[in-house]
Amino acid sequence: MPESSPLLIAVLLVVYLPPAVVLSWVDGRERRLPNRWVAGLTAGVGLSLLLLALMVPELRPGLRTAAVLALVLGIGAILVSLLAPPLLGMGDAKTVPVVVGMSAALGGEVLIAGLLGVALVGGAVGTAVIAVTRRAGVRFALGPVLLACPFLGLLGAPLVGAALGTG
């Protein structure tokens, strides 16, 4: 992670976490991610990272990369949601950019570990839902798992770093 990671951790805990908790609760309860909350989370994180880029020049390259990855993966998620709605809900797709942006801002290893963590936890939850309901095709709230990406990434980053030979 960059040397100024305490500032990025502060953005994660102060700006990202509170609305992510609310969104997770709503999605778990109602199976939807309200546009206002997703937009607020995206705007808050985006503005915070922009301010960090202006204040701490050495963070600019990493934050620029994070923004590009967020845009590209976000467009991809929205296309998947439009072309194959059973695979990914539109609310989840609209949440991908802020999740990827925050995770990537924390570092490449955090992003890789976070995405792997989302895939593993999401797969485990999906399998458990199918086992409990005994019906294939049952939908479950992916939002809480998706929003946990930066935290799963921080937990798994040392393992990814070791695997890549960078840690």
Q: Which two tokens stand for residue 125?
A: 């939850």
Phi (first) and psi of residue 111, to 5 degrees: -65, -50
Report whether pLDDT(3) > 50: no
Q: What is the pLDDT of residues 38-87, one digit of tens each?
A: 999 999 999 999 999 999 999 999 999 999 999 999 999 999 999 999 88
Q: For residues 110 and 161, is the Cβ–Cβ distance under 8 A?
A: no
Could you give the C-alpha distances from 76 to 14, 15, 88, 114, in angstroms and in order?
28, 25, 11, 17
Angle in degrees, 0-180, between the axes of helices 35-55 and 90-105, rounded to the nearest 10 = 20
Q: What is the pLDDT of residues 147-166, one digit of tens each?
A: 999 999 999 999 999 999 98
pTM of the entire structure?
Answer: 0.92
Name the band, by pLDDT with cuts 50, 70 and 90, for residue 2: very low
Least reliable range by pLDDT among 32-36, 79-83, 134-138, 159-163: 134-138
